[in-house]
Structure 1
């Protein structure tokens, strides 16, 4: 019995000692080993294979570290999921990404400048929550109706934000930081205001940051594995998968791929210099790293686009950005079908421009105000009877011997406009808009009884390298032969770029005759073709070919790139890259009910991170000079690990930040978040070296070091708390708001808030759109207020009208403050005329703008072209009106048969100058006219 008691006591003592050991390890664990150098015949070299001891030191410490991680998780869940249901209306670029989720659910094709993964994930979450696509996310401030699972859709990025915090902790542990310092750094990420804000809404940044954080963690895990072991392959594959997910969410993921690639090159340099590694293993390193780290991301990227195209199978507003061949594969398209293949004299055709989305060669009975003042020639994006041209011989004979005469390469012809009877013409006059010497005016010229002149003659040239071999290179075949029209008198070619005519030209695309310029802009093809000398039953019929997945991916990326490059217009909330590290200004997300959501970072963490980055760059330059002079550098294990790991994170910061300096598009503060993440990881290593090495030789100084860290954390927490009203849209006062403006460039509007908190509790705020704007009827007012019976009915109406007017005026002021800043949404020119049988196709426009974030341009009412147009049936527009935020256009209403001049107004944020298809421009509430940003 005594023996059993002694054994139990010994076991309890051992358990207590073990517990004490684990507890101490959270503070005093040394996760580092000395670098190993070996001597070669000529030189010493670094042994690159990780020591097995490293894996043991950086493995999970058990229950005590589990408590630490659980505390981080709980704190992160609270901070990121707190009161997600408020605001109960659309915030910032939820206009775009919520709208995209809706279109995935409905299956209607849309165009965006970002890859599809993150948007598809939001759509999947919404569908799981029962979202049927019945809410349009039209405008900032639109209230969510019952049944829209917006809280669930916001919980998704919030949970990913929690995951990013935990991944930051585990990443630092794998890169040699002690648990307590890793936890402190992760806590700084928890209370970093911008990361909290961005993870609370239906935006792309939180999924992107999570996937980037996963890639960084997997890579750091990979670095300490024994080469070619099972764990080494697992970590390598995990890195490739995470890179693919990041790249498939936003193109910023390319910078992460580049970061891993450069670190591979850096490590392979030392592996080649490690004389203990055979040449065969060096080749294996190159092969496996290259195959997995490039092949897996590319395969995933293509895979997600395949899902994207399969899910979006219906014609939608995004179709206007795409070619007719692409649109022909969408359900419900109105692309011409069953076209006569052989084109000849006597054919009535429509002629489509190849290299722009401008559309069809077009004319109408309106005239140039300058130059020859003859009838206008333009490109028009929609099907219309004014697109039809009759091919006649240049000698103006009308006798074809009742036989079909094919249109051949080198044949001279004239093109007569069917509706007006005038012929396509060019001469020595300057174009109406373009002022280059090598461009001349193209017009329509003629009158009744006039047989034409030599300036009406054009030579048809088939472009053989663009046309499939065979008959199409000899005779013009509809859809297949790529042709040019050479003016016989001057040698100039019929030409069009994306230059737009002003109001008098209805905003349509200019057409000229050019002797220079990009060759592709002189290329055309025949889309529709009718010829009375061909028996349709016996003639060959042709349709647009079905595109392969690769062809769809290539075309989509050409459009995405072009739109992204066009997001150049100024946006109210854009900022410059040189301002980001210093947090000079934020972005207004939402203003309502005397509250505001304003995207801004935690200045304490932000400025500390910037100081860390520039301090390390200075330190590195000094050490490079010391190394050149023969001084030993980084021989201590703490210094060696600090140099290697901090270098990798500062490199990640630079790769995710510096490329923005060469971008011409609209930019916003949220573009800095991936770089900031790497900066915070570098900050963690600064805190580690500060507490474990520089001051560790003196216990008292080490305590001071920990005290400094505690003070830094407290200051960061106080900043988070003080500015939390701008994160959660909680009540704040004007005095506190004004006192919080540490920098004059912090432009959140303190006039939005009440003078005292008591005013919030006394006011009754409705969470339903009171300005939605169902005006109370006079009868209902009379019933509810008996005293009103005494008031004349006219007075009541006047009072109601005045109330509505005041609410609308207030909404207008708020609307000016809020603009979604998206980077990816294209914008479109208002449709000019309705087509007889096809959904209007929008012109390609250069996108001036800011999507994940994106600015938008407003549609202006355009004067209607006065002309007699054949009556046509109105068709339901395929494109839904949207405004673009970051340059994303969101509006395309098709209007019946009249061409309208387009007044282009500068988009409010990144908005393609004249974008093919605006995605629905968030309609402005009557009382809340919020315009989504034009870009991102």
Structure 2
């Protein structure tokens, strides 16, 4: 029995696209007829001229907001450092490592290549100005257009889920000017493509729901959903949460289809099979295809391949991975020893000492091929003895390992590990001795071949290069040579710590021989090489590396935030700052907090309804109320699935990680405004529209008030200070000038300096490479600097070394200086050295003072 749709006779112009719930009467029970009315698709689609005109106005507004002054800033902003740089590498074919799937990055590279980018600009640092050869405007235009289309998709999604034209228009207009979405869609970042694909999947699935099952329209919508899901997950793994959302909605729908007695079971089985193919197989095929394109494009070896195994790297052109390696390893062999379980690389030493413990020579893991990775294998009781015959290394052989370049031997003793000193089960490993020294018993290591990890056959009995996996056990302390993801401090060049462990995970004690030479083996001796992996092997290893790197992004970041703060908009992210202007990612507080409040109110509402139902009261009797609950539950499920996993992640997180969940929250909130109009004020709908209009006016007002930190345009320090509703909104107001006239005067002065540079700086008076330090800046080394207060620079700014090399200071130590803090607050990143640029721009945890010439600074 087809359901009735109120207003259906009026066609697509009907203001009530919510049908009555269609209940069938079975022989023993009533059931829900799952097929929608045949007219619902037309009713919830933009077919009228008025609606198309409204859509055009909405798209125009979104385009105006997102494309405004898109060429500014003309320098690298925030994570354009990464994703612009990756686009450059795609164009040049240079391999790199990233934690995200490739699609969005390949799209940026494609747009850049079409616009004439040849990859010559590498997006090295935030604030680097673009050369004329870099079509950054067109590369930014791509995410901006996707941002505009995402606004359109929100409108169409709301219409498909039963929201009428006025409310869908108003909420989408509010979304068009939502500060955070505007900001992330203006730069070469992954967020805009990701949100576009997620929004496309949400729209396509909601469109699928409004057509009778099995029709051509429903199948097209379902296939479109699968395509969008594939592109979402191929841009960022966040797309997996979208797949989970769609999957749960399918389970929901299939549950009611099973109970629909008007349809045969075969129909349900066919529909379930169709969903499996379209929503799982299609995304998986796309995901794999994009990785295939990724590997086929990035064919040149680079340092970015250092995270991967040597076998993987052999597939890249220009690699220096050893091949035709002598298979037999024996006493007298010079070997390089590679760690298996981490990405640290090779057992390594160099002529630098530990600053803790024994203060003997450092032993580390180093990820690159290097002469300091070479070790001479000696018998433990015959050190410094020339070999006269080949003697292989068997399981149980006791050896010493002498570092070739420094002549110190691999050594361990009862000292705490330099970094893991709180772990009693880890002992220090060092390089000990000198040239001609025969060593001592603490240099002795027993080879223990791991039978399971080694290649079956001869490699399980004696050490063979590449094939044998072994441990090195210290004879005195009965601990094994060990490494893990812990890094040494700067005095250890941040290389990976090596210790001797009596406990710990067994796979972290496994090693194998990669490089191997022996003076007595003939040229025709057995040799081995890495087996070049095929696509499947590279695909699997790349995912292991991506997962490994992603979960280890745990270093604190100056602009990171915790997931529990996101719904309250406690802080944002500084993206860029220059010339007394800045770009700062901040959500639209009116929209943001309204969504958060609604989620809480809806939970209370549902709890009250459940209590009322238990007490015998009737609930959910009106079709509009039923649709409100269904759609809000759908969207809040999407919100939860994109938000809740953040609490399980140990990596550093930022506000932009909330935006996918927030998008679903806005869709749910739109239904709240819809129910206010159609049910709460059903007899005085104008009141509901006044509430909705007032809300959107507030959203627009907030956008206009904070547009300076979206577009990086002039603002005054007074207006900036007044704008800080929350203390965590930590954009710097001291950096702004006091009036807009000051910006005009500054611009005029800069133009004059550009025309007459000799009037401001006499470049010939200072030799290139001279030191510009906080000290000589304070003494007026730059005579005509536009910042008069430089003359009052504080005396307690830390002084650089006199050798003109880059010097680094600890942030906490430096920021404890009241004089410097006041100095930084006053000048922002207008300091004539790179202190504030590194803190506010790159978000680093270290202040880097770089000595540069006068001409470089100007």
- Normalised to the residue count of structure 1, the TM-score between the two structures is 0.78
Equivalent-residue separation in structure 2 for 1:74 and 1:373 (angstroms): 67
Residue 530 of structure 1 pairs with residue 517 of structure 2: yes
Which of 493, 501, 507 aligns to 1:514? It is 501
Alignment of 1:439-588 (within 5 A): 439-445=426-432, 451=438, 454-502=441-489, 505-536=492-523, 538-588=524-574
CA contact (8 A) 1:142 1:925 kept: no
- Per the TM alignment, residue 807 of structure 1 is displaced from its structure 2 partner at its CA by 9.8
- Per the TM alignment, residue 507 of structure 1 is displaced from its structure 2 partner at its CA by 4.1
CA contact (8 A) 1:394 1:413 kept: yes
CA contact (8 A) 1:76 1:165 kept: yes
Cα distance change on mapping 1:424 and 1:75 into 2, 3 Å: closer
Alignment of 1:254-273 (within 5 A): 254-273=240-259
Cα distance change on mapping 1:467 and 1:233 into 2, 3 Å: farther
Equivalent-residue separation in structure 2 for 1:656 and 1:416 (angstroms): 53
Question: What SS does structure 1 have at the residue aligned with 2:152?
Answer: helix
Alignment of 1:187-586 (within 5 A): 187-364=173-350, 375-396=361-382, 402-435=388-421, 436-445=423-432, 451=438, 454-502=441-489, 505-536=492-523, 538-586=524-572
Alignment of 1:557-706 (within 5 A): 557-696=543-682, 698=683, 701-706=684-689
Residue 740 of structure 1 pairs with residue 723 of structure 2: yes
- Per the TM alignment, residue 326 of structure 1 is displaced from its structure 2 partner at its CA by 2.1
Cα distance change on mapping 1:343 and 1:256 into 2, 3 Å: same
Cα distance change on mapping 1:214 and 1:769 into 2, 3 Å: farther
- Give the superposed CA RMSD: 3.7
- Per the TM alignment, residue 61 of structure 1 is displaced from its structure 2 partner at its CA by 2.4
Equivalent-residue separation in structure 1 for 2:788 and 2:109 (angstroms): 34
Alignment of 1:13-24 (within 5 A): none
Question: What SS does structure 2 have at the residue aligned with 1:764?
Answer: helix
CA contact (8 A) 1:259 1:655 kept: yes
Equivalent-residue separation in structure 1 for 2:406 and 2:86 (angstroms): 43
Equivalent-residue separation in structure 1 for 2:128 and 2:453 (angstroms): 49
Question: What SS does structure 2 have at the residue aligned with 1:140?
Answer: coil
Residue 719 of structure 1 pairs with residue 705 of structure 2: no
- Per the TM alignment, residue 162 of structure 1 is displaced from its structure 2 partner at its CA by 0.9
Structure 2 gap ranges (5+)? 1-6, 766-778, 798-805, 811-837
Cα distance change on mapping 1:924 and 1:749 into 2, 3 Å: farther
Question: What SS does structure 2 have at the residue aligned with 1:478?
Answer: coil
Deviations along 1:229-250, one digit per CA (max 9) or x if unpaired, are: 3222221111111011111112
Deviations along 1:861-907, one digit per CA (max 9) or x if unpaired, are: 99xxxxxxxxxxxxxxxxxxxxxxxxxxxxxxxxxxxxxxxxxx999
Equivalent-residue separation in structure 2 for 1:339 and 1:239 (angstroms): 51
Moved more, 682-691 or 157-166: 682-691
Which of 167, 170, 177 aligns to 2:153? It is 167
Deviations along 1:498-526, one digit per CA (max 9) or x if unpaired, are: 33344554544332222211111110010
Equivalent-residue separation in structure 2 for 1:46 and 1:708 (angstroms): 35
Deviations along 1:120-146, one digit per CA (max 9) or x if unpaired, are: 111111111111122232233222222
Equivalent-residue separation in structure 2 for 1:420 and 1:762 (angstroms): 62
Equivalent-residue separation in structure 2 for 1:105 and 1:300 (angstroms): 21
Equivalent-residue separation in structure 1 for 2:244 and 2:851 (angstroms): 41
Which of 802, 813, 817 aligns to 2:783? It is 802
Equivalent-residue separation in structure 1 for 2:268 and 2:75 (angstroms): 57
Equivalent-residue separation in structure 1 for 2:289 and 2:845 (angstroms): 28
Question: What SS does structure 2 have at the residue aligned with 1:242?
Answer: helix
CA contact (8 A) 2:753 2:759 kept: no
CA contact (8 A) 1:131 1:148 kept: yes
Residue 76 of structure 1 pairs with residue 62 of structure 2: yes
Cα distance change on mapping 1:141 and 1:23 into 2, 3 Å: farther
The residue number in structure 2 matching 1:111 is 97
- Per the TM alignment, residue 209 of structure 1 is displaced from its structure 2 partner at its CA by 0.9
Structure 1 gap ranges (5+)? 1-20, 783-797, 817-857, 863-904, 914-920, 931-936
- Per the TM alignment, residue 584 of structure 1 is displaced from its structure 2 partner at its CA by 2.7
Cα distance change on mapping 1:197 and 1:506 into 2, 3 Å: closer
Equivalent-residue separation in structure 2 for 1:56 and 1:588 (angstroms): 45
Which of 126, 130, 154 aligns to 2:112? It is 126
Question: What SS does structure 2 have at the residue aligned with 1:250?
Answer: coil
- Per the TM alignment, residue 429 of structure 1 is displaced from its structure 2 partner at its CA by 4.4
Deviations along 1:825-850, one digit per CA (max 9) or x if unpaired, are: xxxxxxxxxxxxxxxxxxxxxxxxxx
Moved more, 95-104 or 396-405: 396-405
- Per the TM alignment, residue 264 of structure 1 is displaced from its structure 2 partner at its CA by 1.6
CA contact (8 A) 1:771 1:927 kept: no
CA contact (8 A) 1:496 1:521 kept: yes
Deviations along 1:410-460, one digit per CA (max 9) or x if unpaired, are: 333333333444543444444344333333343445567665555444332
- Per the TM alignment, residue 359 of structure 1 is displaced from its structure 2 partner at its CA by 2.5
The residue number in structure 2 matching 1:854 is none
CA contact (8 A) 1:172 1:182 kept: yes
Equivalent-residue separation in structure 2 for 1:592 and 1:906 (angstroms): 13
Cα distance change on mapping 1:401 and 1:603 into 2, 3 Å: closer
Equivalent-residue separation in structure 2 for 1:51 and 1:74 (angstroms): 33
The residue number in structure 2 matching 1:760 is 743
- Per the TM alignment, residue 912 of structure 1 is displaced from its structure 2 partner at its CA by 12
Equivalent-residue separation in structure 2 for 1:144 and 1:550 (angstroms): 38
CA contact (8 A) 1:484 1:523 kept: yes
CA contact (8 A) 1:137 1:922 kept: no
Equivalent-residue separation in structure 1 for 2:391 and 2:752 (angstroms): 66
Cα distance change on mapping 1:387 and 1:805 into 2, 3 Å: farther
Equivalent-residue separation in structure 2 for 1:205 and 1:570 (angstroms): 22
- Per the TM alignment, residue 735 of structure 1 is displaced from its structure 2 partner at its CA by 3.3
